[in-house]
Amino acid sequence: MIGLAVLLPLALVWLRRLGPEWFRRRMTVVAILVGLQGTVGWYMVKSGLVDVPWVSPYRLALHLGLAVSLFGLLTLTALRLRDGVLRAPFSRGLPRQASLTSLALFSQIILGAFVAGLDAGMTYNTFPLMDGDFIPAEMRALEPSLRHYLENIASVQFLHRWWAFAVAALVIVLAVRVWQSAADATTRRLALALCGGVASQITLGIFTLLWVVPIGPAALHQAVAVALFGLCVWLNYRLSPQKIPARAPDLISVNPSTAPAL
């Protein structure tokens, strides 16, 4: 159904040459990614659900990561269609910091896929300690390799629960810098909303763990994660420097009352 919702309007857009050319190209990329997402979904299901009632956490993480990336691309497309591309400049370091924060949040979502794939939330249902230890014995016995850390229930849960606070710290620092800059009111509100959303998400994640992962709170935890990523993409869009094409008047939205004198 999602494929049809993308392909049928896309065919009309190309046949009637609707919208700017960049939009037609962008939505063609989206259609390709939707097809790829379906293929990855088949590849994920193929790893399980036939003889065993679970799938590979690696394939689950790939499926979720592609879905979140597709969501981010669509969010950027909608923002460009709505707001145009002309925005106030910011210091060079601020867009880079926003990108780093988005990458950290994305990696936290991927860690969540490994938690789900390994059912890692069904054990160590205490906080802040993991059954009495900060670093559980099961994790201390691991060989120091990325594969072992991503395939072990204790290590995956440990990384997911504490990396969340690292992401929160990055979000707070970014929000403080946004408020100290010459950002407009919308950008400042986005930074504040991101802080509040991350705090709510961490609280929801802790209670989901303590409640031994009931489906409702777990699904809400995942949905909030995607919404937070959308906020991050939006904030990145507001902060990032934009090169304005010389011949693209349909892409530029200028408010005459606030446009600088040339």
**pLDDT (tens digit per residue) in 64-75:** 999 999 999 999
What distance in Å separates the CA atoms of residue 36 and residue 31, rounded to the nearest whole number? 9
- Peptide bond between residue 128 and the one before it cis (omega within 30 degrees of 0): yes
pLDDT range class, residue 235, cuts 50, 70, 90:
very high
Domain map (residue ranges) of the chain: 1-85, 87-243
| Residue 138 CA, distance from chain mean position | 30
Torsion-angle region of residue 251: left (phi > 0), alpha (psi -120 to 50) or beta?
A: alpha
What percentage of the chain has pLDDT greater than the value 90? 65
pLDDT digits (tens, 9 = 90+) for 249-260: 444 444 444 444
pLDDT range class, residue 88, cuts 50, 70, 90:
low
Which pLDDT belongs to residue 261?
47
Residue with tokens 């956490």: 57
What are the residues whose beta carbons fall under 8 Å from the beta carbon of 130, sequence distance 6 or more? 124, 136, 154, 157, 158
Q: From 107, 109, 103, select the one nearest 146 (Cα to Cα).
A: 107
What are the residues whose beta carbons fall under 8 Å from the beta carbon of 241, sequence distance 6 or more? 89, 90, 92, 95
Instruction: Give 91-96's long-range contacts (Cβ < 8 A, gap of 24+).
Output: 91/181, 92/241, 94/174, 94/177, 94/178, 94/181, 94/239, 95/236, 95/239, 95/240, 95/241
3-state secondary structure 60-87: HHHHHHHHHHHHHHHHHHHHHHHHCCCC
Q: What is the mean pLDDT of residues 136-142?
A: 85
